[in-house]
Amino acid sequence: MTKEFFSVTPVETVFEHISGFSPTHAETIDIADAAGRVLAAEITADMDLPGFDRSTMDGYAVRAADTFGASEGNPAYLEIIGSIAMGETPDIAVRAGRAARIATGGMLPPGSDAVVMIEHTSELDETTIEVYRRVAPGAHVITKDEDFRKDEHILSPGRRLMTSEIGVIAAMGQSNVSVFKKPVVGIISTGDEVVPADTKPEAGCIRDINTHTLTAAIHGCGGIPRSYGIVADRFDELFHIVQKVLEESDIVILSGGSSVGTRDLTIEVIEALGDALILAHGLPVRPGKPTILATCGSKILWGLPGHVASAMVIFDVFVRPCIRQVGGDGEPMREKHALFATLTRNIASAQGRIDYVRVRVEEQDGAYLARPVLGPSGLIRPMLEADGLIRIGMNTEGLLKGTEVRVIPFAT
């Protein structure tokens, strides 16, 4: 059992390996399907935006100079020369002493340089308005290239497309967009004690949970999960399936193997693959010390702990950034905005390893408390109660109650 006492790989080294993985190829998709995808080509402005001087209010297009000095007590009087139709180039010009009705979004007619809000005017009759406020040139107007200038760089490859980015791409006239293909992530569950979730386990067996949590988590970070079922702890069987999954996936996740025997088997299978390179076998973290990271040609393999709670911590900290990296994300390690919170109790740790502790976040008096969700590592229930993780660094023996901590909220 000497293989138990493997040496560990610093987490910085693991992140360096992850940063070096190549992204998938690009594909072109409809922007209707692009939410959450990663941009693979630069977006530039195909035209000035909005493309014309545009009113931002309902009111009257005027020459600003005609309103100078106007007030409630001393209004300016302007002649109405017509209305600007939406979506059309005005066929009227605004000369001194005149005004044209204009709606929000309308194109300013020639001669005008500002808009007076309707609330600051009164129509005396069909042809005359009183103006009660002075406006400066440019008031309530967006100029033709104020938003974006033709050929201006707007978005870079690697940007994850959210609502705003998709709006901007539409504004640039693209109904299709080049994005990185979603990485295909194959999932293999191992362990003689693991049975499919929809069966009734015999005594001593447990249902396969990792396949299902991993499926959801892979979906959540932009991968395509593919489950290959449960494989017994036998070399030939596992070797055969790993070869198959490597061919069909960008990334392979082996989960299970919480016992030494299974862990040994997993690493033996990986070592037996033709061009396998083991980058990490054992990490200085808790939970998840037995984690394996390897490559096989251009493919990536992860060996995760068998306990679902441990496997999910390793997924959150390492595998999610890896899937994002392969998915072309320009900031694969970027976390959601952390929450600053006050720890509600002491937590012991050990020097020389990083501890990831699940916490529940509670709001109190306009600040957050981080309440550790503890319990034996084999339990599932704490997963339901936690909102995120805190990290206790290598060189500390723990954190005291009252310490300010960063909580990384769970992504999904």
Site for a second copy in 133-152 (CB under 8 A): 142, 146-148
Nearest-approach distance from CB 147 to a second copy, in angstroms: 5
Nearest-approach distance from CB 265 to a second copy, in angstroms: 11
**Which CB, 17 or 307, lies closer to a second copy?**
307
180 touching a second copy, by CB under 8 A: no
**Which CB, 276 or 283, lies closer to a second copy?**
283
Give helix then strand counts, H and E, for the chain: 8, 28
Kindly state the number of chain residues that form the binding site for a second copy, as judged by CB under 8 A. Answer: 110
User: Do residues 99 and 76 make contact, with C-beta atoms less than 8 angstroms apart?
Assistant: no
Letters for 8-27 (x = contact with a second copy by CB under 8 A, - = none) are --------------------
CA distance 17 to 267: 18
Q: According to CB under 8 A, which residues from 377 to 396 bind a second copy?
A: 377-381, 383-384, 386-387
Q: According to CB under 8 A, which residues from 263 to 302 bind a second copy?
A: none
User: Do residues 123 and 78 make contact, with C-beta atoms less than 8 angstroms apart?
Assistant: no
The stretch near a second copy (CB under 8 A) out of 17-25, 66-74, 155-163, 234-242 is 155-163
**Which CB, 161 or 326, lies closer to a second copy?**
161
Q: Which residue has the tokens 């106007």?
A: 70
CA distance 262 to 255: 10
182 touching a second copy, by CB under 8 A: no
Pick from 14, 70, 78, 168 the residue near a second copy by CB under 8 A. 168
Neighbouring residues of 236: CB distance < 8 A, sequence distance ≥ 6:
none
Neighbouring residues of 309: CB distance < 8 A, sequence distance ≥ 6:
287, 358, 377, 378, 379, 380, 382, 383
Q: According to CB under 8 A, which residues from 76 to 135 bind a second copy?
A: 85-90, 103-107, 118
**Which CB, 298 or 364, lies closer to a second copy?**
364
User: Do residues 78 and 178 make contact, with C-beta atoms less than 8 angstroms apart?
Assistant: no
Q: According to CB under 8 A, which residues from 205 to 234 bind a second copy?
A: 205-213, 215-217, 219-220, 225, 227, 233
Pick from 61, 94, 166, 267 the residue near a second copy by CB under 8 A. 166
Q: Are strands 224-231 and 54-55 parallel, antiparallel or unpaired?
A: unpaired
**Which CB, 207 or 296, lies closer to a second copy?**
207
**Which CB, 177 or 241, lies closer to a second copy?**
177
CA distance 233 to 222: 30
**Which CB, 22 or 412, lies closer to a second copy?**
412
**Which CB, 79 or 91, lies closer to a second copy?**
91
Nearest-approach distance from CB 316 to a second copy, in angstroms: 9
The stretch near a second copy (CB under 8 A) out of 43-51, 74-82, 245-253, 323-331 is 43-51
Nearest-approach distance from CB 108 to a second copy, in angstroms: 10
7 touching a second copy, by CB under 8 A: no
Closest C-alpha among 330, 332, 314 to residue 322? 332
- DSSP string covering 67-125: GTT--SSS-EEEEEEEEPPTTS--S----TTEEEEE-TTPBPPTT--EEEEGGGEEEEE
CA distance 121 to 76: 9
Nearest-approach distance from CB 191 to a second copy, in angstroms: 7
**Which CB, 85 or 296, lies closer to a second copy?**
85
CA distance 62 to 54: 13
32 touching a second copy, by CB under 8 A: yes
**Which CB, 107 or 343, lies closer to a second copy?**
107
Question: Per residue in 303-330, is it b (16+ CB within 10 Å) or e — as a string?
Answer: bbbbbbbbbbbbbbbbbbbbbbbbbbbe
